[in-house]
Amino acid sequence: HARRLITQADLATALWDLGHKDAHKVMRPRHEAPLPGSPAHSRAQTGDHLARYMLAYYRAIYLLVRLGQPAAALVQLDRALELLAAAPPSSTSSYARRWIQYFRIACTQHCGRMREAGELAQSQLEEALSRGDHTVSGGLSVFAAVALLAADRPEPAERLLEQTASRLRPGEVTLQDFMLIGSLGVPHSYQGRARKAWSVVAAHLERYGASFQGRVMNRGLLEMSTCGLAAAAALKADEGAERKQLTRAAKRLAESARTANSPTNAGCPEAVLACLTGDRAAAVAALQKRWHSPMAPMVEQFTRRRLGELVAGDAGRAMIAEADVFLRAGGVVDPERFVSAMVP
């Protein structure tokens, strides 16, 4: 019982620390002395396997989501798997393993290894669905669909996301809505259907935004992912009421996303706003500013390619070529279409 309480306290402290301004001090590497009262300090005092597993798990999330370091996060996730396997089995062990695998796939994809991430996502998705686990299946479906797009297979990606969306509960907003909404339109974008991409996302986005979760959870991140979809649809729409409506939607989302900053999200609201007005110089400046913030390797290459498209001459072509080498090495068949869909 005492160990269980310590483990729960460790988890609560880790969650609190992830959002704390001094989280980088608390989540310090193992060879440094842990701060008193930190998860690492509790782990050192108790030696509890579950406490150690949870610390490794949340340290990995911190490394990925806050610092954009997926390779370092993978080391911690592998450690978490080892510790979980060494702990006495419980009724939640398989559930915990699936979430570790979910973040391992996220890290693999953000390292740029699309093909490998897709294979892992597909196997984990099949296992989750066979167990009726729809909590993690939404995110796994997104990773599998992105890998299908990387392989130039947009139709299967579209079907997979449609099947996943059909499992969302109309009267209930969940984490799966957040995971899925930003990706629903991507297969349509890949196929050049910008207006369709936005229409698929818009209804879900309105429902999510009206919910309590939509108002308080990860504010700005979903807007960061979708403002480009609305802008691309606006630029494809005919002159008149539709274009004005879509432009207003894109501007509203981009403004809401200005406060968001994620090293695993390639969206750049300032660049979206500049593109809406045809201001190339402002778009370049926005992407260059984004370039100097922490970002995962895949996001870095997305940004490099988009910036290269806007920069004239040999410098722009060199940036595109460098990004394409990285993306093709990871399994992306058509880097231009893929990046355009992922970062509209």
Rounded-to-integer distance, Cα 337 and Cα 344, Å:
10
Categorize the per-residue pLDDT at 3 as very low, low, confident or very high, splitting at 50, 70 and 90. Answer: very low
The pTM score is 0.84
Q: Up-side HSE of residue 332: CA atoms within 13 Å toward CB?
A: 26
Contact 51, 43 (CB under 8 A): yes
For the segment 297-330, what is each residue's pLDDT rounded down to a tens digit? Answer: 999 999 999 999 999 899 999 999 999 999 999 9
Q: Say what percent of the chain tops pLDDT 90.
A: 47
For the segment 140-159, what is each residue's pLDDT rounded down to a tens digit? Answer: 999 999 999 999 999 999 99
Q: Give the model's pLDDT for residue 108.
A: 97
Residues in contact with 332: Cβ distance below 8 Å, sequence separation at least 6, in sequence order = 114, 150, 338
Categorize the per-residue pLDDT at 47 as very low, low, confident or very high, splitting at 50, 70 and 90. Answer: low
* Helix 49-61 × helix 39-46 angle, to 10°: 160
For the segment 70-92, what is each residue's pLDDT rounded down to a tens digit? Answer: 999 999 999 999 988 887 666 56
Rounded-to-integer distance, Cα 48 and Cα 83, Å:
10
Q: Say what percent of the chain tops pLDDT 70.
A: 83
Residues in contact with 309: Cβ distance below 8 Å, sequence separation at least 6, in sequence order = 316, 320
Rounded-to-integer distance, Cα 295 and Cα 147, Å:
20
Q: Is the pLDDT of residue 98 over 60?
A: yes
Q: Where are the alpha helices (DSSP H) in the chain?
A: 2-18, 23-26, 39-46, 49-61, 70-86, 93-110, 114-130, 134-150, 154-165, 175-184, 186-190, 194-209, 212-216, 221-236, 241-257, 269-276, 280-291, 297-310, 313-329, 335-342
Q: Give the model's pLDDT for residue 265.
A: 82
Q: Is the pLDDT of residue 187 over 60?
A: yes
